[in-house]
Amino acid sequence: MTEFKTKHPHRILVTGARAPAALHIARLLTDAGCHVFMSDTLRWPFSNGSRACIQYYRFRSPVEDWERFCFDIVQLINDNSITHVIPTCEEVFHLARLWKDLKPTASLFAPKVSTLLNAHNKLSFIQRAADLGLEVPDTRLLLSPDDIQKSDHTRVLKPIWSRFAEKVFIQPNSSDLQKIKPSAAAPWISQEFLEGEEICAFAFAKDGNTLGISAYHPLYRAGKGAAIYFKPVATEIVAPFVQTYIEGENWTGQISFDLIRMKDGKILPLECNPRSTSGIHFFRDPTSFCSTFLCNEQDGPEADLSISQSVPLAMLSYGLVEAIRRRKYRHWISDLQNSRSAMKWPNDAIPIWRQFLTIMEFTLRSLHNRTSLLEATTSDIRWDGDPKK
């Protein structure tokens, strides 16, 4: 592998500083000799306390003020001579649109908008996977309340645009079905319920070449959504599916999949998240990561699958509640003790109070907008079929 050069450090902007994944990427890049800047809409993202962040910049919400968002990003790139931009959350859709319209000088680590939306849209993702010869669950479009009546209680219903398993109904009862109001403007899907082992897969790629893959079981979650405990899985299990999709879409950027491993060993997809996820935490070697990412090395870094990882603060809240509800308190203690903190990094202790500040900011947003805390974490950057695409 080519030795990573630091004589002329790359100047990289990592967006989505609210996410642990963004901080992890910044740490990898910084320890390889890059100059890393970070940005988000938040006042108090915990990543701002890291040594991996030279400077934090706050930009306007692309959902609330698209023109000012574009101005902020372009000015940030020009003022700091940014060479690469790496999105990590749903701002990736807005950045891809910005690059399509304004063509900033920096390189964006993401595919074009249409490719992103095909992956984000839960119906078109399944259809595209089927077109590539991959086996998929039966998935149907719901455009009106009348369509709900044609869906039986054995299936899974969810909005076509969604994240973190919000508003997902698994084998809904009659009362649940009354709550679902699909329309042409806000369509849903009805998907075959699959029994098997859930696996999350993460990868990053360039021009259809898969550069790195990790996979894990999400043993604990924040509610029904984001995983907070990651038990590693051998990547050979998911690699054929991941590589086929990436090659077929000529993918550049980060991508992740929620998959089901059936009893017969087949891997079937549930949905796709075309952004960073917790799978990035299994990559621990800064030099190999950056050599692949910046120097186009084809022999990508291998994920460290030797130990489970967790987000301790979330495990002490969401994880503990789940363990008590399932009467698996002892398992929870053992799992927590035998995992590595995804937030921990050599010589970069993040003050605990910064994490609480970030949580407090989301809580205030939630109260102000009268939404759930989970919705508040993405309301300013989410993309739900924007007609301006």
Q: For 188-204, how does the pLDDT look when each residue is reduced to its tens digit (9 = 90+)?
A: 999 999 999 999 999 99
pLDDT digit string, tens, across residues 216-233: 999 888 766 778 889 999
Contact 313, 51 (CB under 8 A): no
Round to whole Å and give the CA distance between 125 and 108: 22
Q: Please report the pLDDT score of residue 199 as a whole number.
A: 96
What number of residues does the chain have? 389
Instruction: Give the percent of the chain with pLDDT over 70.
Output: 93
Q: Given a cut of 70, is residue 239 above it in pLDDT?
A: yes
pLDDT band at 378, cuts 50/70/90?
A: confident
Q: Given a cut of 70, is residue 20 above it in pLDDT?
A: yes
Q: Given a cut of 80, is residue 5 above it in pLDDT?
A: no
Round to whole Å and give the CA distance between 201 and 241: 10
Q: In this structure, are strands 156-159 and 188-191 parallel, antiparallel, or unpaired? A: antiparallel
Q: Given a cut of 60, is residue 19 above it in pLDDT?
A: yes
Contact 249, 111 (CB under 8 A): yes
Q: Please report the pLDDT score of residue 89 as a whole number.
A: 94
Degrees to nearest 5, angle at CA 188 with 225 and 140: 110
Q: Please report the pLDDT score of residue 3 as a whole number.
A: 46
**How many CA within 13 A on the CB side of residue 91?**
30
For residues 338 and 319, the model is more confident at: 338
Round to whole Å and give the CA distance between 128 and 115: 10
Round to whole Å and give the CA distance between 133 and 281: 30
Residue 274, H or E segment: none
Query: Which of 30-34, 326-330, 350-354: highest mean pLDDT?
Result: 30-34
Mean pLDDT in residue range 334-360: 85
Q: Please report the pLDDT score of residue 2 as a whole number.
A: 39
For 211-226, give one letter per residue: b (16+ CB within 10 A) or e.
bbbbbbbbbbbbeebb
Report the chain's terminal Cα–Cα distance, integer Å. Answer: 39
Q: Please report the pLDDT score of residue 9 as a whole number.
A: 77
Round to whole Å and give the CA distance between 331 and 315: 12
Q: Please report the pLDDT score of residue 18 as a whole number.
A: 92
Q: Please report the pLDDT score of residue 313 as a whole number.
A: 82
Query: Which of 2-6, 32-36, 347-351: highest mean pLDDT?
Result: 32-36
Q: What letter does residue 301 receive in the DSSP assignment?
A: P
Q: Given a cut of 80, is residue 353 above it in pLDDT?
A: no
Q: Please report the pLDDT score of residue 151 as a whole number.
A: 67
For the chain, what is the mean pLDDT?
Answer: 89
Q: Please report the pLDDT score of residue 34 as a whole number.
A: 94
Contact 332, 340 (CB under 8 A): no
Q: Please report the pLDDT score of residue 149 as a whole number.
A: 73
Q: Given a cut of 80, is residue 24 above it in pLDDT?
A: yes
For residues 147 and 110, the model is more confident at: 110
Mean pLDDT in residue range 90-97: 96
pLDDT digit string, tens, across residues 128-178: 999 999 999 999 999 988 888 766 678 899 999 888 767 888 888 888 888
Of 79, 109, 81, nearest to 96 by C-alpha is 109
Q: Please report the pLDDT score of residue 1 as a whole number.
A: 37
Contact 102, 70 (CB under 8 A): yes
CA dihedral 239, 242, 246, 248 (to 10 degrees): 100
Q: What is the pTM of this model?
A: 0.92
Q: Please report the pLDDT score of residue 65 as a whole number.
A: 95
> CA torsion sign, 289 to 290 to 291 to 297?
positive
Instruction: Give the percent of the chain with pLDDT over 90.
Output: 60
